[in-house]
Amino acid sequence: MPRKPEYDRNDLIDRARDLFWRRGWAGTSLKNLEAALQMKPGSFYAAFGSKDALFELALDRYAKDGQLRLQILAAELGPIKALQRFPEMAIENDAAPAKACMLAKTVLELHARDHPLASRANAHLLKMETQFAELFQQAQSAGDVDKSLDPKVLARRYQSDLLGLRVSAEREGVDAKAIATEIADSLSLL
């Protein structure tokens, strides 16, 4: 009996993610979203409920995509080479709406307001860190990383380096690719 929506919900979330990623939470107004999603306010609120609800969907998708990308990379190259390639991949995509990590941007913007989206972003970052630790552990098993090192410690530092790289990549006049190479090379010495 019902009428079908004219939009592709998946596509809308992608476009919202790009907008939020680039402009941040406060920097993205409903006017911006209406323009990017080609939706009038009524349809928007019928479909997503609120700006925050859509931001949450976008954030979750961003995190899921990142995890998937790393998984695929690990399947293709093995753990250590995946970890080495990942930083460069994160900053070389010119089509991406921003170089910096959307999770980090969200934490930095919303942590001071005690906004639930900040802790959600942080949870996603923690999950990423766990994934890094697993890859470091696998790299140890493969003999590519010294077995006396703690994979969790390595992952914590790797995550921090990655976040720093992606902040640097957002700046003007910084050769971020060189930093990415240095991070990758330093993993060969473990």
Partner DNA sequence: TATATACTTGAGTGATCACTCAAGAAAGCC
Partner DNA sequence: GGCTTTCTTGAGTGATCACTCAAGTATATA
Chain residues that interact with DNA, rule: CB under 7 A: 1-7, 28-31, 39-47, 50-52
CA dihedral (91, 109, 125, 157) positive or negative: positive
Q: Is residue 135 a contact partner of residue 79, using CB atoms and an 8 Å limit? A: yes
Selected from 30, 77, 96, 174, the binder of a second copy by CB under 8 A is 174
Selected from 113, 141, 149, 188, the binder of a second copy by CB under 8 A is 113
Task: Give the CA dihedral 13, 64, 124, 72, nearest 10 degrees.
Answer: -150
177 binds, among a second copy, DNA, none (CB under 5 to 8 A by kind): none
Nearest approach, Cβ of residue 101 and DNA (Å): 22
Alpha helices (H) in the chain, listed in sequence order: 9-23, 30-37, 41-48, 51-77, 79-92, 102-110, 116-141, 151-170, 176-188
Q: Is residue 32 a contact partner of residue 19, using CB atoms and an 8 Å limit? A: yes
Q: Is residue 100 a contact partner of residue 62, using CB atoms and an 8 Å limit? A: no
State the Cα–Cα distance between residues 20 and 27, nearest whole angstrom: 8
Q: Which stretch binds a second copy (CB under 8 A): 40-48, 59-67, 76-84, 122-130?
A: 122-130
Q: Which one, 141 or 188, has the nearer CB to a second copy?
A: 188
Nearest approach, Cβ of residue 65 and a second copy (Å): 20
170 binds, among a second copy, DNA, none (CB under 5 to 8 A by kind): a second copy
State the Cα–Cα distance between residues 78 and 142, nearest whole angstrom: 9
State the Cα–Cα distance between residues 160 and 169, nearest whole angstrom: 14
179 binds, among DNA, a second copy, none (CB under 5 to 8 A by kind): a second copy
Residue 116 interacts with a second copy (CB under 8 A)?
A: no
Nearest approach, Cβ of residue 172 and DNA (Å): 25
Residue 167 interacts with a second copy (CB under 8 A)?
A: yes
Selected from 125, 128, 135, 187, the binder of a second copy by CB under 8 A is 125
Residue 140 interacts with a second copy (CB under 8 A)?
A: no
